[in-house]
């Protein structure tokens, strides 16, 4: 690793939070060829690569259908709309997630009903879902946060008992496995994001819905393309949420690497946990077994003096992130939902303490060891 020189300091090492160029370097020729082939054909929207990628991604997830769209947010929003969810309906989501989870619900015209998270997994606290169900509840949208599958078995049981749809927000969990099945195949439908920094990322925005329900897949195909089941006849709301062919072509190349990349992320998480064991930071669970595996979109520790540690790591050339600094109910835009500080204590405490360390497939052992050093010295002050 080359030394990085800034105006003030020379770091022994610079460790990026993510490194998309390192990820693409070994497959650059294939990406270039894929893009060139699309330029040659000139079929830029919903072209052949989109159809082929949909088939490949559905097969990867273990679902019958996939429908490519323009973002993860659109994937979730159109999935709710395709299920007939809208004004007057409630959708249960975790209080600690990226804002797009809630936005998908509000953009469908429905109301997000928040539930606190479990402190060890950062996912929906399944023991608190039942009390949030009302006669207006139509769906539960669990998030596989940080790449760890939500506890889907009790969620599906509750949904069945109350006749609810389950839409997985799988935007951070491409390839994660829960009881032998891939995320995306666990609920009635799922939305994935291909934002560049996700485990599988485009070179721009895009997303996809996966489902084994032919009717829902067909409705989303129509919704994404101006509400058309047939050309020039607009039966449904005329959204434009189409997927670009160039993104699909590049995603097809990167999908061939995804399992290898996820395996590397898992190894990095184990190494971090080993290096930080015995310290006072709360480490993420590494509870992978043969039939359930997280894919470590983010490696998130919890520490009381989070902001001071973050600044200290920055001084050492180490990039970090906070996912997320505010829970959904305290975001200004969602004030109107009527929640207050104190309503979701676990989520609120987590947002003050979580710190995401560098995590991407091409981290080296040397880099991870370097990151652990200043964390240990900070805690030993």
Ligand X SMILES: *Cc1c(COP(=O)(O)O)cnc(C)c1O
324 preceded by a cis bond (ω within 30 of 0): yes
Instruction: Report whether 155 contacts 127 (CB < 8 A).
Output: no
Site string for ligand X, 86-105 (x = CB under 6 A): -----------xx-xx----
| Displacement of CA 313 from its chain's centroid (Å) | 25
In DSSP notation, 162-175 reads: HT-EEEEE-TT-TT
d(Cα 43, Cα 249) in Å, to the nearest integer?
11
Among 71, 183, 185, 351, binds ligand X (CB under 6 A): 71
Q: Which is nearer to ligand X, 72 or 317 (CB)?
A: 72
Q: Which is nearer to ligand X, 100 or 300 (CB)?
A: 100
DSSP state of 43: -
Q: Tell me if 143 contacts ligand X by CB under 6 A.
A: yes
Task: Provide the H-helix boundaries in the chain.
Answer: 20-24, 28-41, 48-61, 72-82, 99-107, 152-162, 214-224, 245-255, 258-276, 306-315, 345-353, 365-379
**Closest residue to ligand X, Cβ-based?**
72
Among 171, 354, 359, 368, binds ligand X (CB under 6 A): 171
In DSSP notation, 16-38 reads: -S--HHHHHGGGHHHHHHHHHHH
Q: Tell me if 57 contacts ligand X by CB under 6 A.
A: no
Q: Tell me if 169 contacts ligand X by CB under 6 A.
A: yes
Q: Tell me if 172 contacts ligand X by CB under 6 A.
A: yes
Question: Residue 258, CB half-sphere, CA atoms under 13 Å: how many?
Answer: 25
Site string for ligand X, 296-335 (x = CB under 6 A): ----------------------------------------
Q: Which is nearer to ligand X, 24 or 205 (CB)?
A: 205
Q: Tell me if 108 contacts ligand X by CB under 6 A.
A: no
| Displacement of CA 9 from its chain's centroid (Å) | 35
Q: Which stretch binds ligand X (CB under 6 A): 4-12, 13-21, 169-177, 257-265?
A: 169-177
Q: Tell me if 77 contacts ligand X by CB under 6 A.
A: no
Contacting residues toward ligand X, per CB under 6 A: 71-73, 97-98, 100-101, 143, 169, 171-172, 193, 195, 205, 207
């Amino acid at each position: 690793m080359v030394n990085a020189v800034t105006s003030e300091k020379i770091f022994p090492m610079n460790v990026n939070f993510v490194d998309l160029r390192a990820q693409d370097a070994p497959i650059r020729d294939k990406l270039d060829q894929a893009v060139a082939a699309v330029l040659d054909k000139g079929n830029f929207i919903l072209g052949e690569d989109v159809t082929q990628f949909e088939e490949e991604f559905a097969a990867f997830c273990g679902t019958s259908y996939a429908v490519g769209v323009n973002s993860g947010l659109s994937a979730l929003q159109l999935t709710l709309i395709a299920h007939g969810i809208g004004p007057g309906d409630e959708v249960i989501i975790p209080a600690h997630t990226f804002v797009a989870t809630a936005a998908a619900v509000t953009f469908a015209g429905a109301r997000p009903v928040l539930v606190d998270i479990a402190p060890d997994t950062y996912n929906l606290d399944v023991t608190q879902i039942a009390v949030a169900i009302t006669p207006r509840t139509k769906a539960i949208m669990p998030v596989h946060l940080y790449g760890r599958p939500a506890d889907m078995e009790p969620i599906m049981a509750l949904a069945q008992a109350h006749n609810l749809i389950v839409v997985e927000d799988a935007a951070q969990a491409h390839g994660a496995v829960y009881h032998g099945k891939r995320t995306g195949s666990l609920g009635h439908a799922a939305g994935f994001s291909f934002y560049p920094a996700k485990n599988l990322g485009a070179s721009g925005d895009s997303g996809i819905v996966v489902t084994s329900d032919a009717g829902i897949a067909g409705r989303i195909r129509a919704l994404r393309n101006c509400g058309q089941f047939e050309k020039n006849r607009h039966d449904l709301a005329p959204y434009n949420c189409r997927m670009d062919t160039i993104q699909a072509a590049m995603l097809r190349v990167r999908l061939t690497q995804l399992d290898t990349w996820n395996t590397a992320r898992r190894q990095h998480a184990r190494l971090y946990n080993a290096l930080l064991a015995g310290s006072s930071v709360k480490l993420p669970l590494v509870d992978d077994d043969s039939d359930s595996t997280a894919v470590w979109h983010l490696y998130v520790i919890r520490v009381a003096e989070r902001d001071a540690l973050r600044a200290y790591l920055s001084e050492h050339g180490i990039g970090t992130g906070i996912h997320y600094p505010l829970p959904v109910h305290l975001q200004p835009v969602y004030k109107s939902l009527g929640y207050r500080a104190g309503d979701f204590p676990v989520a609120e405490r987590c947002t003050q303490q979580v710190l995401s360390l560098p995590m991407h497939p091409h981290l080296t052992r040397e880099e991870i060891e370097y990151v652990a050093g200043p964390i240990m010295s900070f805690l030993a002050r």
